[in-house]
Structure 1
């Protein structure tokens, strides 16, 4: 079993569903709908490695995102089950965000995407 992250492995071939080009395209489209948008991938990269981050920490880590957009993206990722929102009932209120177990399983796929991007051939004039 090959994996870019020791904690998250790939399913053995015997356990993978049989895909046709149509079913594969449908399932990939569904996955991309969860991850679509300019900011979601950046948020995920900040949360990888079982990190918990407060909202203000995410704001500082991604200075180009507006507060409104960060809230929207976090809510969508939470609704899709990719991240979890942890509310600590104290004064002042403390809210942290982290990946769900399912969200952590994205790590090898995004590692593979990074490796793929690194291999881009140089542009020719």
Structure 2
């Protein structure tokens, strides 16, 4: 169960399962982070910062921590100087990719339809 929500103790406190899904991957950044980790298979923190230039350092750290706490991503920390951390999707995170792929296709179709409607 998402640890982000302290006031809800069990699945019984959610209106429906979609609420759980949206809590875990919803928001402006989480889905983009998941998508970029998927596209790169393994990615470092600074690479994510370059790919998502509008996210603040604090927000990226918070979102990565939340995704890690919810079992969507994991990280490998190398004991070197300077520290090196790589992020990757867990099995649970990889299970989101077909859903996100469909969302990507839907968005592309919407843009095409929107642009064609604008031209008429």
Query: Is the structural similarity TM-score above 0.5?
Result: yes
Q: Number of residues paired by the alignment?
A: 101
TM-align CA RMSD: 1.7
Instruction: Extract structure 1 runs of 4+ deviating beyond 4 A.
Output: none
Which is helix-richer, 1 or 2? Answer: 2
Please list every run of 5 or more consecutive structure 2 residues that lacks an aligned counterpart in the other structure: 1-14
Partner of 1:35: 25
Greater RCO between the two (CA within 8 Å, min separation 6)? 1
Please list every run of 5 or more consecutive structure 1 residues that lacks an aligned counterpart in the other structure: 1-24
TM-score normalised by structure 2 residue count: 0.77
Partner of 1:62: 52
Shift of residue 49, structure 1, vs aligned partner: 4.8
Which shifted more, 34-43 or 44-53? 44-53
TM-score normalised by structure 1 residue count: 0.74
